[in-house]
Amino acid sequence: MIQNIPPIRGIHNANASARVCKSPFNNKLGVDYLKLHMIEKERIRLLNEEEKILFRLEFIQNRQKDIQAYVEEKTGQVQNHNQVIKKQQAEKIPPNFKFMTIDY
């Protein structure tokens, strides 16, 4: 008679006993906590990325200011040079250099 009794599923089955897991949370709560954890990690990553971008933006703005100051300085020098040349041409004063021909 003992031969006709099917084995009890779960305890005698090694695969079933390996899959049995006791948890204080049901599956829905576990998924919700996982989502909250992933969202928190994403928030921290975005905050770090924002700090890096703001630092880079500050560097770029400072570089733009330096370039603008340099361009304004050089533009003023060129304008002054052009005014001197126009004044010399108006007064017909020869320039400070001489033209020489070179025979080869």
Q: Is residue 29 part of a domain?
A: yes
Task: Decide if 18 is inside a domain.
Answer: no
The pLDDT tens digits for 42-84 are 999 999 999 999 999 999 999 999 999 999 998 888 888 778 7
User: Which pLDDT does position 44 carry in this prediction?
Assistant: 96
Tell me which residue range forms the domain holding 87.
Answer: 25-91
| Total structural domains within the chain | 1
Rg (CA), the chain: 42
Is 14 within a domain?
no
- Has residue 10 been placed in a domain? no
User: Does 78 reside within a domain?
Assistant: yes
pLDDT (tens digit per residue) in 8-46: 555 555 555 555 555 555 666 667 888 889 999 999 999
Would 81 be classed as within a structural domain? yes
What pLDDT is recorded for position 2? 54
Query: What is the predicted pLDDT for the residue at 77?
Result: 84
Cβ neighbours of residue 20 closer than 8 Å, sequence gap 6 or more:
10
User: Does residue 49 lie in a domain region?
Assistant: yes
